[in-house]
Structure 1
Amino acid sequence: MPLFRAEHGGAKARPRRRRTRNMEWVGSCGKTDENGHVLSLTRLCLLSLANNMKDMWAKDYADNYLDHYSFRYIMGPFTLLPGELVEELTWLLCTRKQMSRAALHLMLVPQLRGLSLESCPSLVTATLCAHIAARCRGLRSLDLSGGQQLPSKVLCETLCCLPALRSLSLAGTPCDRGVIKAIAQRCPLLRHLDISRCHLLSPAALLPLGAPLPPLPLISLLALDIGFGEQEGDPAAAAAYLLLSLPGLERVAMEGLGQACCLIQQRQFNRSDGFTDREGVPRLVELWRDWRHRQGTDTCRTMREAAAREEEEEERTLSDGFGSDSEEEARRDGGPNCSQNQTEDRKRGGDLSDDGCLVLQLKDVKGISCDFLDSLSLACPNISSISVHVDDFENTRGESQGSLLATGLQAWSAQLRSLSMYHPGPLVNLLPALQVACSSLVSLTLEGVKIGPHTPLLEVIKACPGLRDLLISAEPPTTPWEAEDEEDQRAEQNLPRLANLCSLTLNFSYEHSQMKPVMSCMSLEKVLKCLLAGSPLLEKLSLVSLPCPLNGILQEVLDLLHLHQYFFADSTNSPLMPLGRVQRVNLLRTDVTMMTVRSLMQRSKRLKYVDVSYCWRISQVEWMHCERSTEVQVVWL
């Protein structure tokens, strides 16, 4: 493997013609992916590279060069591959936990356009960042999430060498104000930025993102769980500043976002003057005037274009002999001017009027409380995804958080696609809001809720017929509650189904010292049967620390799967089967047995991963025997 260190000012290599090839161009070697499709020859070659990376491709470099030399470039087999294939190989090695420092060095080639090291943050070091800055200056996407070994100075130096970045994730890194300034000054094309969990950042440290002129083309800014502000109002003031200075934002996750929308809607800009003066940035009222000016310019441009289209239409009409003298006179006058249009817009109460409402482009927001949903609905009518924190108490007007939530979500009831709620109270409190918003939902997340005898889980399922992803993280019941009577059991044939559900997570909290959960929630069995038997597209299943017996439920569902396979031996005529498409299963801290797990592996042909950690009815001997006799990855502790 020839290696060399390129000097500055050396001869330039002749540019190669870029290879553009469909990655599924050919191939049939008897191996299939998780969907049962035959793998392409390209994918099989990449899998072979990944399997032999440690013992072949990276061995010579690791043994002889890795800790002895620092190469600006490495000439090897990967410099000949298109950047898309190198990126896919990197992804394969990271997801399969096979990535090493030597392998990563070999794959830092100039043609690489995307690099994600989120799944192996231990490899993200200052030395690696120096190699990235020297070798991969054309990167458009970079993810260094979790790289806690990186000094902020190294991050700044790296980002200054990557002007083509469109997407950057520094979540959980020692990112500080200096890094934010480097991003604002040296990454003019950046559209996506994730700086969540960067505890060295205060809300005020984000202000440089709104300073460049023209502003950064950011459409996504994720900054939850960052450092605390110097004063109580700093998060809201910082959020308002960024909303007004970054007009292209569509996805935002920030503390104080709801308060910021309220501040802007009520024109209470003077409340943030102390913050902006302290930080040395323009006051919000100035940003508001600039926003109105931009809106006015855009409105005039739009109306001029509309007038031009009308003029062309009139000319075509006149050429056909159907025009009138008045139409010809109007055409010569050129239509209404911009000032007239602005006057009419003011009369309609549009964005240009003093009393008009600011309309933001936000579609996905996180970090909102119920008290500010009304202001958010006025400022952001196009929201399709929202994450809300619902407290378990009433506000000063005596309104419950559940009623505020239902009223606030009403504005987006026909367009909301994803809803996430954290509520440390009974799930029944959220039911009115779910019935308002769930008809259009494809993703629903409920965290921190409490389960009790009258928990309306079936009502939630009925309200969300189109769900593809359902996650419920709940507190276990404190008192036992039994299954319903026989009359309710006879109604099981009319239970709702989630025909489109692909991912189901039902996790109950537990204490690590607890051997097994208390079986106190017996009527949960009906809900589980409903979800497992009525969701034939299910691919990911996580049932953790359930307070009810699970083994018998799985056996019943697997018997249904067996009947389907018996009567429909020809898969082309078979209907969709329960658990027939499941690929990953997590049954941590439940009463499942190894016999049930084996039945699941035998009848679910696409199953790749099963976690049965802390399942007290499975012994180490059973697990070891199962691990040796199957290709499915089985985890047990």
Structure 2
Amino acid sequence: MPLFRVLGDRSGAKAQPKRRGPKIRKGTGRCCMTEDDDCVPSLQHMCLVNLADNMKEVWVKDYADNYVDQYCFRYIMGPFNLLPGELVEELTLLLCRRKQLSRPALHLLLVPQLRHLSLEKCPGLVTPALCGHIAARCQGLCSLDLSGVQQLPAKVLCETVHSLPALRSLSLVGTRCDRSVIQTVVDCCRSLRHLNVSHCHLLSPASLLPLGGVCPSSSSPSQSSASSSPALRPPLPLGSLLALDIGFGEQEEDSTVVAAYLLLSLPCLESAALEGLAPACGLLEREEFLHTDKFADRERVPRMEEVRRERTRHRGGDSWERRRGCDAAESDEEEGVCATKDESEDDDEPPCSRAEVKQKSPSRSELVLQLRSVQGVTCVSLDCLSRLCPDMRSVSVNVDPYSNGRQRESLLAADLKPWVGLLRSLSFQYPGPLEDLLIPLQVAGSSLLSLSLEGVKTSAHSPLLEVIRACPRLRDFHISAEPPVPLQIEDEDDWDLPQLPQLHSFKLSFSYDHNQKKPFMFWMSLTKVLTCLLTGSPLLEKLSLISLPCPLNSVLQDVLLHVSSGSPAPPPLPLGRVQHLDLTRTDVQMVTVKNIMQRSRRLKCVDVSHCWQITQLQWLDCKRFRSVEVVWV
């Protein structure tokens, strides 16, 4: 028997997807349920659960007792070498989710057929020695996530990345990544499509320039740029670059200039979260390149005007934009990205085509960026962004709470109007009244699949119903709000309550005082909204209702008692597909939680922390209820 399977060998047995069982998403290694799945777990999943239950006492025990600290194996011959890589990935995620993954178990699971490895949930297990095992055993990795691993020096990160040339996705969030790691990525991972280096404080903004082929010259800084500027190197085919909160004490203008360089030099970039992204778009539109010459001379990189000319020169023929489309198609096919039904409707839903959008909003500089998703922009930059990026699908906006309310509403609505019919995801961070965001949402909400409202303030007149009506296609709806003042808010009987039949994830969270045992319960009208919303959303999989200022237990009981009538083929029962349930700091009772457990056989985790109606004895009794993880403090 060979010690390891050859990476290109296809003679081994592979797991065939079950018709009625969960499908494995190749890009993530996760088990994704479809609407046609049965509630009963598949035989494959039950086998993996049994394997996880016996992992410690059977598979790990001998290796941990005799080998883990005494020998360094390049390859380990064991039962996991015979499993397809997808099953090993799912088993690893299962152990992580159960908090049962140990260092010996991880050693056994590092097999050559592994393609996706995420250690974000167990950063404490990652050591330089483990990285050596990853580099030696898993050289065919396509994605690696080391987020939160702070104990690895930059040298170890470089050595690990150097041994993984097939990487297409790399996450180093919060690590000790520095300029040398970025240079190693540029030299060795030429197929990289996704990079996340947010919160890497040893990484300066200028260190990101080699990603776009903008490399320092070997000449001295005193020489003129015209006589010594180096040729631009081929950029990485990055489609996603996340680099927020990097560097210590870096000059603010450096972030803006670097963001402008990257927007020009990365032709495949579609998703970006960069410091200084918003002012960089304004700089590119106004073509204020002279202001960046000082930076270029200091860093010994080509001046921005040269990068701009190079970008313009490649716009025809075998252009970067056309290569971007080919690379994206190949990447999606190889990584097994599963497009949802709603995403497939993008081309037949929008009321105005992309060509019409570009014609309506021409950019003064005639520069068109391929960005489709941006994070952390401000209201001021939306106007410029809409001209440079006509194909935008996802925007995260920080709204200034100190601007005039009327002016803010009209400007937001006007800036979002060029993307009407195109936007699929919208996020507002706004510590102001919810009603201030109603007009912008009524403008852009018809095509939204995801909406997030962070930090908004509520009152007796908060237009929650109007927000729901404005966004009828939502699949993900998250609100993090400040509770209204503790005054009685009366119910109204004549409401025409809307529903969100495609909703898969809903979160309504109110802030609270930790010294207060329970929130004030006075917003009675909210109960009718929640009852209608939960009853009309039978596809819900994730539900979070935290610190609600209204009684929730009666709402959940009414939802469970709801029976659809007058339909020959009734839809799925409300709460029948819920997998994750968070009811922290609410008046929910244990009998209601058990009823939900009986309703949804897919339920995996229930959080009833600080629920004052639930006792410790009830919690201990409920912990033995099937295999659902119940959290209570």
Deviations 1:220-254 (A, max 9, x none): 10112223552221211110011111111011111
Indicate the SS of the match to 2:395.
strand
**Against the structure 1 CA distance between its residues 224 and 355, is the aligned structure 2 distance closer, same or farther, given a 3 Å change threshold?**
closer
Aligned to 2:267: 247
Q: 1:626 deviation in Å?
A: 2.1
Deviations 1:178-226 (A, max 9, x none): 2111111221111110112222223222122122721111111011222
Deviations 1:420-440 (A, max 9, x none): 110010011111110011000
- Return the TM-score normalized by structure 1: 0.83
Aligned to 1:150: 152
Separation in 1, partners of 2:620, 2:363: 72
**Against the structure 1 CA distance between its residues 15 and 483, is the aligned structure 2 distance closer, same or farther, given a 3 Å change threshold?**
closer
Equivalent position to 1:288, from 308, 317, 322:
308
Deviations 1:484-532 (A, max 9, x none): 4xxx31x24x211111111110001123222111224332222212211
CA contact (8 A) 1:27 1:39 kept: no
Deviations 1:143-174 (A, max 9, x none): 11111111111101111111111111111212
Q: 1:43 deviation in Å?
A: 3.5
**Against the structure 1 CA distance between its residues 553 and 165, is the aligned structure 2 distance closer, same or farther, given a 3 Å change threshold?**
same
Separation in 1, partners of 2:73, 2:32: 37
Separation in 1, partners of 2:430, 2:94: 38
Q: Unaligned 5+ residue runs, structure 2?
A: 22-30, 215-232, 323-357
- Identify the range of structure 1 (526-535 vs 235-244) with the bigger mean alpha-carbon deviation: 526-535
Separation in 2, partners of 1:96, 1:40: 19
Equivalent position to 1:458, from 454, 465, 482:
465
Separation in 1, partners of 2:611, 2:580: 17
Indicate the SS of the match to 1:372.
helix
Q: 1:88 deviation in Å?
A: 2.5
**Against the structure 1 CA distance between its residues 572 and 90, is the aligned structure 2 distance closer, same or farther, given a 3 Å change threshold?**
farther
Equivalent position to 1:473, from 458, 472, 480:
480
Indicate the SS of the match to 1:368.
strand
Aligned to 2:516: 514
Aligned to 1:411: 418
Equivalent position to 1:542, from 544, 562, 569:
544
CA contact (8 A) 1:207 1:242 kept: yes
Aligned to 1:130: 132
Counterpart check, 1:428 vs 2:443: no
Deviations 1:20-44 (A, max 9, x none): 634325899xxx9975355554444
Separation in 1, partners of 2:604, 2:48: 19
CA contact (8 A) 1:125 1:149 kept: yes
Separation in 2, partners of 1:99, 1:120: 8
Letter of the structure 1 residue corresponding to residue 171 of structure 2: S
Equivalent position to 2:282, from 248, 254, 262:
262
Q: 1:544 deviation in Å?
A: 0.4
Counterpart check, 1:69 vs 2:76: no
Deviations 1:462-491 (A, max 9, x none): 00111111000001123424124xxx31x2
CA contact (8 A) 1:360 1:379 kept: yes
Aligned to 2:221: none
Separation in 2, partners of 1:199, 1:222: 14
Letter of the structure 2 residue corresponding to residue 211 of structure 1: G
Equivalent position to 1:362, from 364, 371, 379:
371
Deviations 1:103-125 (A, max 9, x none): 11112122222211122211111
Identity %: 58
Separation in 1, partners of 2:254, 2:9: 52
Indicate the SS of the match to 1:73.
coil
- Identify the range of structure 1 (221-230 vs 131-140) with the bigger mean alpha-carbon deviation: 221-230
Q: Unaligned 5+ residue runs, structure 1?
A: 7-11, 303-348
Letter of the structure 2 residue corresponding to residue 57 of structure 1: W
**Against the structure 1 CA distance between its residues 298 and 134, is the aligned structure 2 distance closer, same or farther, given a 3 Å change threshold?**
closer
Equivalent position to 1:208, from 207, 210, 213:
210
Aligned to 1:576: 572
Give the total of aligned pairs. Answer: 566
**Against the structure 1 CA distance between its residues 549 and 44, is the aligned structure 2 distance closer, same or farther, given a 3 Å change threshold?**
closer
Equivalent position to 1:235, from 245, 255, 260:
255
Equivalent position to 2:294, from 253, 271, 274:
274
Indicate the SS of the match to 1:591.
coil
Aligned to 2:38: 36
CA contact (8 A) 2:242 2:273 kept: yes
**Against the structure 1 CA distance between its residues 377 and 355, is the aligned structure 2 distance closer, same or farther, given a 3 Å change threshold?**
closer
Counterpart check, 1:598 vs 2:618: no
Letter of the structure 2 residue corresponding to residue 621 of structure 1: L
Letter of the structure 2 residue corresponding to residue 414 of structure 1: G
Give matches, 1:242-391, under 5 Å. 242-298=262-318, 356-391=365-400
CA contact (8 A) 2:287 2:365 kept: no
Separation in 1, partners of 2:410, 2:363: 32
- Return the TM-score normalized by structure 2: 0.84
